[in-house]
Amino acid sequence: MGGQMQQSNAAAAASLYDQPGAAGGSFYSAGPTSDAGDAVMARWLQSAGLQHLASPLASNNMPNALMQGYGAQSTEEKQRLFKLMRNLNFNGESGSEPFTPTVQSVPADGFHSPEFRGDFGAGLLDLHAMDDTELLSEHVIPEPFEPSPFMVGSTASFDDENSLIGNKHLRGEGQADADAPAVLTAYDKEIVPRENNVAKIRVVVRKRPLNKKELSRREDDVVTVYDNALTVHEPKLKVDLTAYVEKHEFCFDAVLGEDVSNDEVYRGTVEPIIPTIFQRTKATCFAYGQTGSGKTFTMKPLPIRAAEDLLRLLHQTVYRNQRFKLWLSYFEIYGGKLFDLLCDRKKLCMREDGRQQVCIVGLQEFEVRDVQIVKDYIERGNGARSTGSTGANEESSRSHAILQLVVKKHSEKKDMRQNTDGNEAKNGKVVGKISFIDLAGSERGADTTDNDRQTRIEGAEINKSLLALKECIRALDNDKLHIPFRGSKLTEVLRDSFVGNSKTGKKSFKKWKCEEGSITKLTTSST
């Protein structure tokens, strides 16, 4: 599942071209280019495997050179050159005239080819998603990003072999672009400019240990976990009733064994995305799996850790004086309807504005000043959440719960005005957000025989929305132009997490027990 992160590209290029000695401060400025500029350009070209074009392009204006197909001979070279240009084009916010390639300037067979779209991702070119922030120029950081303790490669624990699963992937080892780091340190930007591409979707599977009930029944553990893959050993019977075991192998971006702690889950999935929230990213992390597989157990601590790191970043030098604030909201989708979990389950309405931005009318947002507040709100929200008992889980979540942490920028003037009506969150401009979604557990029909009517209706609604979600993810991953968002309320609400500058992390959960449903789930997640 490959994809790109435009904003990281922006940050990378901004820092490269703002270096002292780099030509003109802007790639697009015409005229003589300095040696430093040539070197930078050479590195960019090298990163796309186009080093042989370095000299003619360095001494010319690159957009024009590209328009004329300068140097690039084959279609593939032209595509690569265009992609490189496109990446740079997202950095045009430094004040220079952005280069907008016309349809004619792009090789007809290149731009529309699946390979080409695959690198940018169909959803990633949605410019509507950018309008609501209008913060680009303010976000250009004139100095390398202040190293944060949770950036890839900056902590000892991240280098620790046992510490994290996803580390290898985040560094781009083993797999190509799809596993490139979500977050770049200044060092990364210099050395590996292409690695600022991160996967659009990252799928991590966590295996939960046997619970007491299962242990007492002496049921076998049929899942073996290794590296980023797992094998399910499914006991089967031949027609002559001879027992045999069928093996099913699945590969994911990361697979977490039963001994992995919640903290390690955070460090391998959400932590690397956190700094990108300040760069207009809308990230989503959701837990998907059968009822009783451990979704709530895994999701509950993640927003707390994320809020802690977001608050720490807010206080870093680069953001301290920018009037950024962190806001929290928590709501659920139950039976196709939205309820505010922090406001007496007030019924909410979902609307799309003129720019196709999802707005949840009436949703209360609370300012987060410290982590304790987040803990309190999560407790409060979980207490208000719709739960019930199913055959597989006594305290089963019967709704999709969505907790959002939003970084907003506030202007002094507006803050003063709205302090009087107490509606401060509304006046901030969204810088970026991260949504944590604890999906309701899916159920197989065979597990629902003991359920009452209400539970079955709930189950049908849950399965329907999960199916719609699967369709959207599949369409997104296949770079389909049409993403069927309107399939359910859940996917409608998630719309802006799938388009624009978004990243989606998905955790699938594996129960130890081998069931038809488990294998279906893993097959769905791995495709």
Ligand X SMILES: Nc1ncnc2c1ncn2[C@@H]1O[C@H](COP(=O)(O)OP(=O)(O)OP(=O)(O)O)[C@@H](O)[C@H]1O
Under the binding rule (CB under 6 A), the answer on residue 6 touching ligand X is no
Burial readout 145-180 (b: 16 or more C-beta within 10 A, e: otherwise): beebebbbbebeebeeeeebbbbbbbbbeebebbbb
* One character per residue 472-511, x = contact with ligand X (rule: CB under 6 A): -------------------------------------x--
397 binds ligand X (CB under 6 A): yes
Shortest spacing between CB 262 and ligand X, in angstroms: 8
Round to whole Å and give the CA distance between 117 and 478: 10
> Is 403 in contact with 303 (CB distance < 8 Å)?
yes
> Taking a C-beta distance cutoff of 8 angstroms, is the pair 49, 80 a contact?
yes
Task: Tell me which of 171, 295, 507, 510 binds ligand X, using CB under 6 A.
Answer: 295
CB of 444 to ligand X, least distance (A): 13
- 60 Cα distance to chain centroid: 38
Exposure of 390 by Cβ count < 10 A (0-12 exposed, 13-18 middle, 19+ buried)?
buried
Q: Which is nearer to ligand X, 15 or 382 (CB)?
A: 382
Instruction: State how far the Cα of 277 lies from the Cα of 505, in Å rounded to an integer.
Output: 14
H-only helix segments in 270-301 = 295-299
With b for 16 or more beta-carbon neighbours within 10 A and e for fewer, the 228-244 pattern comes to bebebebeeeeeeeeee
Between residues 54 and 522, which has the closer beta carbon with respect to ligand X? Answer: 522
Q: Tell me if 311 sits within 8 A of 326, measured CB to CB.
A: yes
Number of chain positions touching ligand X (CB under 6 A): 18
Considering the complex, what minimum distance in angstroms separates the CB of residue 394 from ligand X? 8
The correct pick among 71, 123, 294, 459 for binding ligand X (CB under 6 A) is: 294
Q: Is residue 301 helix, strand or coil? A: coil
296 is a contact residue toward ligand X (CB under 6 A): yes
**Part of the chain binding ligand X (CB under 6 A), chosen from 134-142, 310-318, 319-327, 391-399:** 391-399
Q: Is 441 in the site for ligand X (CB under 6 A)?
A: yes
Instruction: Give CA–CA dist 213/197, Å, rounded.
Output: 44
Q: Considering the complex, state which of residue 110 and residue 292 has its C-beta at the smaller distance from ligand X.
A: 292
User: Contact region for ligand X (CB under 6 A) — 82-90, 91-99, 286-294, 500-508?
Assistant: 286-294
CB of 512 to ligand X, least distance (A): 10
Give the largest Cα separation in the chain, rounded: 81
**465 near ligand X, judged by CB under 6 A:** no
Would you count residue 396 as binding ligand X (CB under 6 A)?
Answer: yes
Q: Which residues contact 382 (CB under 8 A, 6 or more apart)?
A: 296, 300, 341, 401
Query: Residue 295 or residue 503: which is nearer to ligand X going by CB?
Result: 295
Region binding ligand X by CB under 6 A among candidate stretches 76-84, 204-212, 407-415, 513-521: 204-212
Shortest approach of ligand X to residue 157 CB, angstroms? 20
Q: How far is the CB of 301 from ligand X (least distance, A)?
A: 11
- Which H, E and C letters describe 103-153, residue by residue? HHHCCHHHHCCHHHHHHHCHHHHCCHHHHCCCCHHHHCCCCCCCCCCCCCC
205-234 residues in contact with ligand X (CB under 6 A) are 208-209, 211
Point out which residues bind ligand X (CB under 6 A). 208-209, 211, 289, 291-297, 390, 393, 396-397, 440-441, 509
